[in-house]
């Protein structure tokens, strides 16, 4: 095998392994996008964020995706995509994921705000209940005696 043939073989091997990495990254992005879309649908129905079943798997996949992006940014991993169609597929998937994640961020913030409102309503109800039966006022001192109606019977 000549040097030129060896270089050509190495390039094909590198391209093939790069294509496999890109295809696996596309699969990862597709899976992550589906999970985020499912989570968005459940959040849209009003489910609290803490009860969503996708959270753990979404976090694991997002961590893998972030690690891959960080490796590419650091230069330790290269995602050279020579196939134009494969490159376009990757970019399309990244844009879909970004849109789904943007929606997810908005929906999660809304779910957190709704949870905070529910918590505040419960706390207010507890404060009102405590205040109605407590002999102490807001300052911690004994509250002024409440007018109590009591009837007496003077019949003899």
Domain spans, the chain: 3-133
Please give the C-alpha separations between residue 13 and each of 41, 82, 123, in angstroms, as whole numbers. 42, 13, 64
Quote the pLDDT of residue 14. Answer: 47
d(CA 34, CA 38): 6
End-to-end CA separation in angstroms for the chain:
128
Averaged over successive runs of 10 residues, the pLDDT of the chain (156 residues) comes to 46 58 92 93 81 82 90 75 86 95 94 89 89 72 62 58
């Amino acid at each position: 095998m000549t040097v030129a043939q060896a270089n050509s073989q190495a390039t094909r091997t590198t391209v093939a392994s790069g294509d496999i990495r890109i295809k696996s990254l596309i699969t990862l992005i597709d899976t992550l996008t589906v999970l985020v879309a499912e989570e968005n649908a459940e959040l849209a129905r009003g489910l609290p964020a803490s009860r969503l079943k996708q959270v753990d798997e979404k976090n694991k996949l997002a961590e893998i995706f972030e690690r891959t992006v960080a490796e590419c940014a650091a230069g330790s991993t290269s995602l050279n995509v020579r196939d134009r169609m494969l490159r376009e597929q990757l970019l399309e998937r990244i844009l879909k994921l970004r849109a789904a994640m943007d929606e997810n961020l908005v929906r999660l913030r809304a779910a957190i705000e709704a949870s905070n409102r529910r918590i505040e309503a419960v706390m207010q109800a507890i404060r009102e209940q405590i205040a109605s039966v407590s002999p102490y006022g807001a300052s911690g001192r004994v509250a002024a005696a409440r007018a109590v109606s009591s009837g007496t019977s003077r019949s003899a």
